[in-house]
Amino acid sequence: MRLILLGPPGAGKGTQAKMLKEKFKIPQISTGDILRQAVKDNTELGARAKIVMDAGQLVPDDVVIGLIKERIRQADCKAGFILDGFPRNIAQAEKLSETLIEMSLKIDKVIDLEVNAEEVVNRLTGRSTCPECGAMFHHISRPPKVSGVCDGCGGKLEQRLDDNRETIHERLKVYMESTAPLKEFYKKQGNLKMVEAKGSVEDIFSNVCKMIDV
């Protein structure tokens, strides 16, 4: 089962990816994680990425694709994987398609988590995370039992720093301009599945699973 998760910031891609990972026993591939790992391991691609990142520039697509390719080759991806946060634009999606064809693989489903802009702003402005264990909370949809304290480990919750309104609008704009066109791209390939990201995390997950079983 090879999946791509699409959706604007705040749609809950990370949360759904984690749940899918548990259910289908396939790894979640996030470009941020594999970049960090490659830099840490000082691989050839990691070293290239580090030079670019140290200069404050975006890591070029060919490096990211190279890392994804290396990651997909690993044994734990045999049964599939979940791409979370990649591709972000049409150029990346085209390169990803080419790479997968070379590897004789294909994406089974592209799950598009749909949520409107107003809702995104509401969700993102109330988020907090636990720096100790990575648990995520939200003041309305997933409040911690004790305000400011992690349910899981008792860590002191931190507000997400990038979650101010201006940054959110900017991220939404970038999403609408660059990433949203991917819906059309994957629709043409015939594997796009839309899920309304509304209601509880569990409700959304059950709808995601229905789309995967189709």
DSSP class of residue 88 equals: -
As measured in angstroms, the least distance from the Cβ of 126 to Zn ion is 18
Q: Cβ closer to Zn ion: 60 or 134?
A: 134
| 155 scored as a contact of Zn ion (CB under 5 A) | yes
123 classed as catalytic: no
Cβ(156)–Cβ(133) under 8 Å? no
Catalytic option among 88, 95, 183, 187: 88
Q: Which of these, 32, 9, 14, lies nearest to 168 by C-alpha position?
A: 9
CB 148 within 8 A of CB 135: no
CA atoms within 13 A on the CB side of 125: 12
Size of the site for Zn ion (CB under 5 A): 8
The answer to whether residue 150 forms part of the interface with Zn ion (CB under 5 A) is: yes
**By CB neighbour count within 10 A (0-12 exposed, 13-18 middle, 19+ buried), where does 99 fall?**
middle
Residue closer to Zn ion, measured from CB, 111 or 130:
130
148 is a contact residue toward Zn ion (CB under 5 A): no
Closest among 62, 17, 26, 24 to 204, alpha carbons compared: 17
Check if 71 is active-site. Answer: no
Give the residue with the Cβ less far from Zn ion, 53 or 136.
136
Q: Confirm or reject binding of residue 132 to Zn ion (CB under 5 A).
A: yes
**DSSP strands (E only) in 20-108:** 28-30, 81-84
Residue closest to 191 by CA, chosen among 172, 214, 169: 214
Catalytic residue chosen out of the listed positions 36, 50, 160, 183? 160
State the catalytic residue, choosing from 13, 71, 109, 193. 13
Quick check: bond before 87 cis, omega within 30?
yes
Mark the segment that binds Zn ion (CB under 5 A) among 50-58, 138-146, 148-156, 204-212.
148-156
Give yes or no for a contact between 92 and 64, defined as CB atoms under 8 angstroms apart.
Answer: yes
Binding of Zn ion at residue 126 (CB under 5 A)?
Answer: no
- Tell me whether residue 60 or residue 154 sits nearer to Zn ion (CB atom): 154
Catalytic choice (21, 171, 183, 187)? 171
Task: Tell which residue, 78, 75, 69, 76, has the closest CA to residue 31.
Answer: 69
**Contact flag: residue 158 with Zn ion (CB under 5 A):** no
Of the ranges 8-16, 122-130, 137-145, 187-195, which one interacts with Zn ion (CB under 5 A)? 122-130
Instruction: Name the token pair of 181.
Output: 């066109």
2 is a catalytic site residue:
no
Out of 152, 165, 206, 210, name the contact with Zn ion by CB under 5 A.
Answer: 152
Query: Among all residues, which ones are annotated catalytic?
Result: 13, 88, 127, 160, 171
Tell me which residues touch Zn ion (CB under 5 A): 130, 132-133, 135, 150, 152-153, 155
